[in-house]
Structure 1
Amino acid sequence: MGIFSSRYESVQLGSASNLDSTVFDLSGPEMRYKILDYIGSGKKEGARLVTGRNRIGKQGYFIQPNAFANVTDEMKIAREEIFGPVQSILRLETEKEVIRRVNATHYRLGSGMFMSDMGRAVPMDVTVEAESFLELRLDFE
C-alpha cells in the first residue's frame, strides 16, 4: 500500500489548464460534500484509510486523493461510482475471483487491476464485462 501513499501524498493541486497539476478542484460544494460523505462512509464501514484526508486548502474545492484498503463488496465505496478522488483497494487471489467481483458490480464502466504476473491477466480482458478494463504490472515486494 506504500506505493499508493507516496503517490497520493505528492500530488500537485491546480487548474486543469496547468500541465504540472495532477489534482484539479471539484465542480462545486455539492460534489465536495458528496465525496466527503463517501470518505466518511468508508471509515464508518471499517475500511482502512491508507492515505488521504478531507479538504485541502481554503480556496476552491480540492480533496486529496484517498485510498482505502480492507474494502469488502458490501461497502458503499465498493458498490457505487464516486466520481472523485477515492480509490477502493480489494485484494483478490484468483482470476476467477477478479472476474466474479467485476461482473457482479452494477455499473462496470471501467475496471482495473494491478498484478505482478501479467501472464495471468491476459485472458481476463475477454471474460470481464466492463466498458474498459485496465491491467497494470506492479511489483508488490
Structure 2
Amino acid sequence: MRCPFCAHDDSQVKDSRPSEDNTSIRRRRQCESCGARFTTFERVQLREITVVKKDEKRESFDRSKIEASVAIACRKRGIAQERLDQLVSGIQRQVETMGEPEVPAQAIGEMVMEGLRQLDSVAYIRFASVYRDFTEARDFEEFASSVRDVGVS
C-alpha cells in the first residue's frame, strides 16, 4: 500500500480488525520509509458494476460518491456515522445483488432517496433538491408537503 505522506510503495500492517458494522476490515499501517501511520479499509466487492449515467456515459460504481452525497445531505443533522455507513453499505449491497453488470444511475439515486426518507426527512429533502434539480422555492414547497403527507419524521 502506497504511503499517502511520502508515496513510498511499502507499508506494514500494524493492526487489523473488523469495522464497527462488520462490512469491512480496518487496517492500521506504518510506512517503512517515513514511519507515518495511516488507516485503510478493505471491503468485499462482489462484482464489477458499471453505472450508466443519464447521458449514456458509463463509469465504474464508486461507493465513495454515495458516501459523499449522503454526508452532504446529512450534514449537521446529528446522525451517527455508523447509521450513515449502514445506509451506504445497504445501497451497495442492493446494487451488487441486482445481478446486472450495468445499473442506471437513476436506480442508485432512488435507492439513496428511499434510504434517506427512512433515516431523516430533512436529509431526504436536501438530497432530493439536488437529485431532482429543484429550480425554485415552489419545488421545495411541493416536495416538502408531499413528505409531510407521507408522514416521514
TM norm structure 2:
0.27
TM norm structure 1:
0.28
For the pair shown, the structure with the greater C-alpha radius of gyration is: 2
